[in-house]
Structures are given as C-alpha cells and as structure tokens.
Structure 1
Amino acid sequence: MLVNEFHLHFIGILETRVTVANLTRVKVRLLQNWKWFIDYPVPGSRIWLAWNHAELDVEILDTSVQYVHCRITQRCLHESCYVTVIYGANDVIARRDLWTMLCDFSLCVVDLPWLVLGDFNAMLDMSEVCGASGDIRMTMEEFNDCIISTGLLHLPVQGARLEFRKYM
C-alpha cells in the first residue's frame, strides 16, 4: 500500500466521491487504525485528512469548502508545523476567497514551518496548462500574487507521476 511504501504518517485525499453511507467502510479498508477528519458537514466538501495518531497529533484550526488548515505535531520529537490542504474551487471568483484566506494564514503562521499542498485549480505559468479553455491570464496573475503575498515557495513536480489507482 502507498502509505507503507512511502512511510507516510499524514495524508490528504481530495474529491473522493465517497458517499456518507460508504464512509466507514472505506476508512476501515484504507487505514483502519488511523484518525480521520472528513469535512462532510461542510457543503461541497471534498477534503479528507488521515493520520497515524501513534506518530502525530493533528489539531484542525480552520476549514472551508476549499481548504483544511491544521497544526501537526510529531510526538517523538515534539516538533510542529502548519499544514493547509487545498482543493481550490473551479470558479475563478470563488477561488478569490482561498487566496484571501491563504494571505490571512500567512500572517498567523510565522512561528512554525507551513506546508500548503493540494489542488489549487490554478496554474502559475503557461507551462502547467493542459487543455484549458478561455483566458487564464487573470487566474495565473491572482495565483502568482497569492504565492508572492504569502511568501510561499513553489516546489515543482519531480520524477514520475504517481498513479494512485495501482494501490487500490
């Protein structure tokens, strides 16, 4: 399984399409002894978090339809960091709320490292575009402005792309 192969202790899963009725069955099948945060009470929810509670303490600090923001502490080292898992809205206007919240978070996370990851549904430059329709310049400008304003660094993808289906 992916978690064992890569020695993972925390994962974010986006857009699962799992119904509430199937939730327990899926959680037990994937990671039976882990703790879960699933944002089903949030309308349009699409983000799941799971963590090995023997290794990590996770405190959920804020949630929305587009993100889950948390503080993670590694138990054995007593070291913490902030993690924000993103699933950006498909709509340009709705994504502006995400950019605003990331800027707000950046002012509050100065005491610890901060990792922001997920699917932003936006691209930084034309090299990331594949099959987009319409004018995406405004989307790129807003995303780049957010990255600059928050002080985040973009880490490019390296190596082969992971096919999750092979692990199911």
Structure 2
Amino acid sequence: MDYTGPGNRIWIAWNDDIIDVDILNVDSQYVHCRVHIHELHEIILITVVYGANEVSTRRDLWQGLIELAETVGNEPWLVGGDFNAVLDMSEVCGASGDIRVAMNEFNECILQTGLLSLPMQGERFTWHNCSLDGRSLWKRLDRLLANDFG
C-alpha cells in the first residue's frame, strides 16, 4: 500500500501483511500516522516530515508538531525526515549565512514537543549543495526524533 501527501512531497509505502497504517493528519510539511505492527501487537505514532525551504514557512511545521505533541499522550511517537534545519553549528560545514534564528526555532520546537534526537549512524551530513565553485556546503537536515514514552 502507499500514500502520497499534498504536492507529492511526502511518500509513504508499507506492506499490509506486516503493518496497518491510518493517516491521522496531513499537512504540506508532514503526514501523521498511527501504525499497528501485526506481529508485535504494538501501535506507534509516526510523523513523516519534509520541512519547507523557507524559515517563515517552517514555523508552521514547528507549530504543527507542537500541536501534535499535545495529542500523543503516552503513545510511542517517532518523527523523522528532512526538517530542512540543523540543531547546532556542528551540523554545518561551509558558508551558510546566518542560520541562528532557524536553528533556535528548531531547538525550541524539540524542547516544546519533548522529543529527543536519536543517534545517527553513517555519514555525518545528509545534504550537500553540489557546488562546483568552491562554496561547498554540507548540512545534517535529515534525522529521527522520538518521545520518551517509557
């Protein structure tokens, strides 16, 4: 089975033999689902994110995640995807301009939602501007966040 969000920015695919997916909330920057894992008899909330390029538009994403957090209760919640924002300057390599406002807003969202950044394996950066003129820029824009439901 699969689902394509508004504007084809977010795609979700799954195997009906393994899980059931109920789409609970759809936004231009996220799709929020309840996932039932058959074999484990467990339910987890999953929010798939593709953050907007513009800082001002991403504010809608931060507010949406804060509102979702209020509905989660004590259910396990996994939030992941391309947030188009970094948590701190160690997640940037190269000249990026002033990203402090965007970085602070992302950190404030994480604080207000009670989410924790999960450790990452593999490459340190998840995005590169592919510049050939010596202005190479690398960022960690993709990540997984989870609540502390236990």
TM-score by length of 1: 0.70
Tell me how far apart the structure 1 counterparts of residues 120 and 109 of structure 2 sit (CA, whole Å).
19
Tell me how far apart the structure 2 counterparts of residues 38 and 111 of structure 1 sit (CA, whole Å).
28
Q: Matched residues, percent identical?
A: 58
Shift of residue 95, structure 1, vs aligned partner: 0.2
Q: Is the 1:37–1:50 contact (alpha carbons within 8 Å) kept by the matching residues of 2? A: yes
2:93 counterpart SS class: coil
Of the two structures, which has the highest relative contact order with CA contacts closer than 8 Å and spacing of 6 or more? Answer: 2
- Offset from partner CA, 1:113-164 (integer Å, 9 cap, x none): 0000000000000011134532100001000000000000011322357x9x
1:157 counterpart SS class: coil
Tell me how far apart the structure 2 counterparts of residues 69 and 54 of structure 1 sit (CA, whole Å).
21
Tell me how far apart the structure 1 counterparts of residues 93 and 123 of structure 2 sit (CA, whole Å).
17
Counting matched residue pairs gives 125
Query: 1:126 maps to which residue?
Result: 89
Which runs of 5 or more residues in structure 2 are unaligned? 127-150
Which runs of 5 or more residues in structure 1 are unaligned? 1-34, 164-168
| Residue 158 (structure 1) aligned to one of 112, 116, 121 | 121
Query: 2:21 maps to which residue?
Result: 58
- Offset from partner CA, 1:90-129 (integer Å, 9 cap, x none): 0000000000010001111113100000000000000111
Where do 1:19-168 residues align within 5 Å?
35-39=1-5, 42=6, 44-131=7-94, 133-160=96-123
TM-score by length of 2: 0.78
Equivalent AA in structure 2 for residue 105 of structure 1: L
**Structure 2 CA distance for partners of 1:132 and 1:146, relative to 1, 3 Å:** farther
Q: Give the structure with the higher percent helix.
A: 1
Give the root-mean-square deviation of aligned CA atoms. 1.6
Equivalent AA in structure 2 for residue 38 of structure 1: T
